[in-house]
Amino acid sequence: MKELKIETRNLSFYYGNKLALNSVSFNMYANHVTALIGPSGCGKSTFLRTLNRMNDLIPGTRVDGEILIDGLNIYDKDIDVVNLRKKIGMVFQRSNPFAKSIYDNITYGPKINGIHKKEVLDEIVESSLKKAAIWEEVKDRLDHSALGLSGGQQQRLCIARALSVNPEILLMDEPASALDPISTGKIEELIFELKKTFTIIIVTHNMQQAARVSDYTAFFYMGEMVEYGKTKKIFTTPDKKQTEEYITGRFG
Amino acid sequence: MKTSKKITGGLLIGITGFSVFLIIAILIFMLVMIIIGAKGEFSWKFITQFPQNGMTQGGIFPALFGTALMVIIMSVAAVPFGTITAIYLTEYAHEESIISKSIRFAVRTLAVVPSIIFGLFGLGFFIKFIGTGMDNMFNAGQLKWAQPNILWASLTMALLTLPVVIVSVEEAIKSVPREMRDASLALGATKWQTIRKVVIPGARSGILTGTILAISRGAGEVAPILFTGAAYYLAKLPTSLSDQFMSLGYHIYIMSTQSTNVDQTLPIQFATTLVLLLLTFTLNLSAILIRVRLRKK
Amino acid sequence: MDTKIIFPEDRESLNLHETEESTAMDPQGQKDPNAFVFTKESLKKKIRPSEFLSEKLITGVAFLSIAIIVLIFFFVFREAFPIFTQKEKKSETQVTAVIPEKYGDTSSGNTVKPEQYGAETPTPENKEEGKTEIKNTGNVIKPERYGVPEDSIQESTGEEEYTGSEISQLTPAETFHLSSLFGKEWMPVSERPRYGLIPLIVGTLKVTLIAILFAAPLAILAALFSVAFAPHWLRETIKPAIEMLAGFPSVVIGFFALTIMATALQAVFGYETRLNAFVGGIAMALAAIPIIFTVTEDSMNAIPETYSEASLALGATRWQTAFFVVLPAATPGIFAAVLLGIGRIFGETMIALMATGNAALLSANPFESVRTLAATIGAEMAEVVFGDTHYSVLFLIGALLFVFTFALNAIAEFYVKGKLMKRFQGKLS
């Protein structure tokens, strides 16, 4: 029933000489939501960004260990990073629509992949926006600037944009941290829907959010993955003392 | 004791304040005197007419036209190169690498090299080296390119204004948020695609500002074109890149120091100065306004 | 907290049926057998020529700035070079006959040594070329005419003051020695040309000194006022005013100095020569003030606020803080500002051409005309015969100017920045 999607083996990450992730190993499953929690600077965002090799862009960084997606090591030297990123969508902490129209925001990815037929693009725009549950709100103003949308709408637009290239995995870096409770609720509901199709990894500061949306939770602390397991178990009967302390709000 | 301290303080503050006052007063005095001097001559006709009667009467249209043409050719050369250099510095080079540091040092040096040196370089490189080479290759040694003309003057000016473009484009590119680039790259765009479709469009107003500032600088500079293409008087407008041209700044210089009736043409000199000032101010002002709008975003 | 949260796994078990159904029905959820899989083949490294080319091209263009600096070095020196080689040879017309090795090769094109292509040695033909060009430029007026006619003290006064023993001792007529560059006379267009750079250098230094003495205190104090004392609205007025001054083309400042300032200053100070080092210096100060102001203000703004706050907290007044804390802390920046200002003045051409009187006199009197290095190039280059000694000497002057400003900039850049950084980072972090 559970299909293994991503597996990390002894993943370590360095900024220069500084160790940011220390030998992290665990599995993430297809069509499940995995939440990464922990205090700021614990390495959870860094970990997320190693999954689509966004950290490659930062000079002076180094990765040890392996990340296997469907059994393939994405840090293998023969891997094409650009194509890899096409299959792994990413949503960022601050909503970051391009300063273009809503329509152009969604078609950006497909166009880069060489899709230029108007009908196909129209279809992609509609389906992506529908999947991100924002179609009804914007369908009449697709040619308006995306910067005119509210924060919550912008973030859902960014999700739609990430979906436009048909990824299999969706990485979310605190997608709701800058949003009001209503928008947050909508995003959480959306995540619940999206996991039927995608493998979702979400970084969050908000413990309740992790508990509400994720099936599995990994607790990071000081660059180490302290505990990993079913969300319910982590939140109700954690094995490690540190995890319990963090979850009950004693630090972080 | 206390009062003497207070007096010292007041005096010192007074001196600093007076410095500001003096600078602004000189500025206003300059503007007012130039406007007064130009008042009688400055008119629409003055801008649109050719000089007449051995330049003692008439307008300055050829000088205005020559300046405009020169800055256009200059921009065509300086803006793409400046933009690309800025892109390299912000997107490709590592901030701390020796290459990036040397390029930055070179750009800053270019910005402080005296403008007359650019003129010498234009003469030695463009006219004597490239020009002679072109004449030997295409013109069977006939003199065509190995002499001052508008092309060499514009290219010389382009070198001078290159740092202006680089600095303002770089600033604009830096103002494009990191997240935009990340979003594009995460969608599977390559670096070059990201630059072309996200970074450059985001920096468009900066490129525009840079162009305007470069034009404003280039329109006012005279030293680089003294012996690379500017002419004292031409009966017709330049029609080819190998023609010489008249320029506003050069016109002011030559009229005020070398014409035979300096006093008689004084109003023309003032009016030409006013035109040049208005031109550079309008350009600078529009660049500032664009920049302010950019910062607000 | 626990009671409120419905964990996804509970939620799933509640609507297990529905979830599975919808997964199955969602067309996007169905696994297309042809769909992308993470395999070695599908993710094989692709070669992207456009990516590669654009990167190489951009990198190449970026090196242009460095290349330009190197080329300026090379070409300005190259044109100046002949004066070092023709040291013992006869100058002017005789030179043409003496150096056949360069002459013969001009037609054979680019395979020859670098000094040879383009570097027209004064062969008879080339001389003609040079002459036609001068006609084209329209600048047939002799250099003595630069400056305002009524006070053309140039040649005549010069002759009166320095004739006789010194000169004949330096240069036997018609021969050019490098040592003659250290002569006290600059008289390139005469029966017996003399290329002594001393009066030009002294003149330049004189003007620079006057200008910087005027510009630096004014700009630095104004910057201090703007940073430490000015209310917000006033600061917002000062900045555009300075920017406006910076936007003045130097030819406009030169014109203003020539027509209005010279007369006004003469009326005030009552000196004899209308255009002189003093007028030129004041005018150049106007060009240097914006640079000095801006760099100084930046360096004052870069001082961490804790500095002045600490001082104020100790009971110092605002002016004490400004003069005893802000000003000293900004010294490296102010030093850089002054250096850049000097560089600007030193190389300024148009103002020098228009406002200094352009007579190469050697004197300490600030109210006498001077001829600066930059102005000499600007005034004489259009009239020289390409390739002759005069031409090369002008390029040599250019090379001097270039090296000097390059060095100033390098000092401002490396020394001052390093010092500034050490000062603040060392103490703060």
pLDDT in tens, C179-198: 777 777 787 877 777 888 88
Q: How far apart are CA C271 and CA C278, in angstroms?
A: 10
pLDDT of C115 higher than 50: no
Question: What is the count of structural domains for chain A?
Answer: 1
Asked if the structure places residue A217 within a domain, the reply is: yes
User: What residues of chain C, 384 to 413, have a C-beta less than 8 Å from chain B?
Assistant: 386, 394-395, 398, 401-402, 405-406, 408-410, 413
Residues 6+ apart with CB under 8 A from B267: B37, B38, B40, B41
B263 in reach of chain A (CB within 8 A): no
pLDDT at res. C112? 35
Residue in C146, C247, C353 nearest the CB of B281: C247
The CATH class, in words, for C198-428 is: mainly alpha
- Which of A133-137, B105-109, C35-39, C294-298 bottoms out in mean pLDDT, i.e. has the lowest? C35-39
- Cα(A123)–Cα(A129) distance, integer angstroms: 10
**Count of domains forming chain B:** 1
Packed helices B150-174 and B61-87: angle between N→C axes, nearest 10 degrees = 40
Who contacts C361 (Cβ-Cβ below 8 Å, separation ≥6)? C153, C157, C158, C161, C199, C203, C368, C369, C370, C371
- Tens-binned pLDDT, residue by residue, of chain A (252 aa): 678 889 999 999 998 888 999 999 989 998 999 999 988 888 889 999 999 898 888 888 889 999 999 888 888 888 888 888 988 999 998 888 998 999 999 999 999 988 899 999 999 999 999 988 899 999 899 999 999 999 889 999 999 999 999 898 999 998 888 888 888 888 898 998 898 889 999 999 888 888 889 999 999 998 889 999 999 898 888 888 888 888 887 665
Is B164 a domain residue? Answer: yes
| A 18-57: CB under 8 A from B | 52, 54, 57
* C47-61 pLDDT per residue, tens: 888 889 999 999 999
What is the longest distance spanned by two Cα atoms in chain B? 87
Task: Tell me the per-residue pLDDT of A137-160, one tens digit each, with 9 for 90 and over.
Answer: 998 999 999 999 998 899 999 999
Q: How far is A231 from chain C (nearest CA, A)?
A: 7
How many angstroms separate the Cα of C72 from the Cα of each of A12, B50, B116, C76, C384? Answer: 50, 37, 12, 6, 20
Whether B24 is in a domain gets the answer no
**What pLDDT is stored for residue C307 in this prediction?**
83
Q: Which residue of C has its CA nearest to A210?
A: C7
Cα distance between residue B176 and residue B190, in whole Å: 17
Across the interface, do A112 and B187 touch by the CB < 8 Å criterion?
A: yes
d(CA A69, CA C40): 11
Among B183, B198, B201, beta carbon nearest to A92: B183
Interchain pair C29, A196: CB under 8 A = yes
In a domain, A119, yes or no: no
Domain that holds residue A30: 1-87+199-252
Backbone angles phi, psi at C307, to 5 degrees: -55, -60
Q: Tell me the C-alpha distance between C142 and C81, whole Å.
A: 25
| Residue-by-residue DSSP string for A36-100 | EE-STTSSHHHHHHHHTTGGGGSTTEEEEEEEEETTEETTSTTB-HHHHHHTEEEE-SS----SS
Q: Which residues of C touch A87 (CB under 8 A)?
A: 36, 38
pLDDT the model gives residue C287 = 95
Which residues on chain C are in Cβ contact (under 8 Å) with B117? 72, 76, 347, 398, 401-402, 405
Nearest-5° Cα angle at A36, A33 to A37: 130
Residue C133: pLDDT band (50, 70, 90) is very low
Q: Which of A70, A235, A236 sits opposite C38 (nearest CB)?
A: A70
In a domain, B196, yes or no: yes
Q: What's the CA dihedral at A133, A138, A143, A148 to 10 degrees?
A: -100
Name which of A18, A57, A58, A16 is nearest A41 in CA terms: A18
Q: What is the pLDDT of residue C132?
A: 37
Residues from chain B contacting residue A87 (CB–CB below 8 Å): 188
Q: Strand pairing of A33-37 and A61-69?
A: unpaired
**Neighbouring C-beta atoms of residue B280, cutoff 10 Å:** 24
E strand or H helix that includes residue A225:
strand A224-230
Residue B186 lies in a domain: yes
- What residues have CB less than 8 Å from C179, skipping those under 6 apart? C170
- pLDDT range class, residue C247, cuts 50, 70, 90: very high
Interface residue C241 vs chain B (CB under 8 A): yes
DSSP 8-state symbol, A207? H
Name every chain C residue with its beta carbon within 8 A of the beta carbon of B236.
Answer: none
Q: In the sheet that A199-203 helps form, which strands lie side by side, from edge to edge?
A: A88-91, A169-173, A199-203, A33-37, A216-221, A224-230
* pLDDT at C94 exceeding the cut of 80: no
What domain range includes position B99?
Answer: 39-296
Residue B223 belongs to a domain with what CATH number? 1.10.3720.10
Contact A70 C28 (CB under 8 A): no
CATH number of the domain within which A51 lies: 3.40.50.300
B215 or C153: which leads in pLDDT: B215
User: Does an H or E element contain A108, and which?
Assistant: helix A102-112
Q: How much of chain C exceeds pLDDT 70, in percent?
A: 68
Q: What is the reported pLDDT for C47?
A: 82
Query: Which among C9, C28, C45 has CB closest to A78?
Result: C45
Chain B residues near residue C286 by CB distance under 8 angstroms: 26, 30
Those chains having 3 or more beta-carbon pairs within 8 angstroms of chain B are: A, C
Q: Which of A163-167, B220-224, C32-36, C384-388 has the lowest mean pLDDT?
A: C32-36
Residue of B nearest to C256 (CA): B30
Residue A96 domain flag: no
Q: Taking a C-beta distance cutoff of 8 angstroms, is the pair C339, C412 a contact?
A: yes
Q: What are the strands, taking DSSP E only, across C196-259? A: none
Q: Where in chain C is the domain with CATH 1.10.3720.10?
A: 198-428
**Is residue B258 within 8 Å of residue C378, measured between CB atoms?**
no
At B40 the pLDDT is 82
Q: Which residues of B fall within a CB distance of 8 Å from C406?
A: 109, 113
Helix (H) or strand (E) holding B154: helix B150-174
pLDDT at A57: 81
Low-confidence ranges of chain B (pLDDT < 50): none
Query: Sign of dihedral through CA atoms C122, C124, C129, C134?
Result: positive
C-chain CB neighbours of A84 within 8 Å are 43
In chain A, what's the furthest Cα-to-Cα distance?
56
CB–CB of A193/A110 below 8 Å? no
Six-digit token string for B127: 């006219």
Nearest by CB to residue A72, choosing from C19, C43, C48, is C43
Closest of C121, C97, C103 to residue C391, by C-alpha: C121
Classify A219 as helix, strand or coil: strand
Q: How many CB pairs under 8 A join B and C?
A: 289
A89 CB near a chain B CB, below 8 Å?
yes
Q: Is residue A164 part of a domain?
A: no
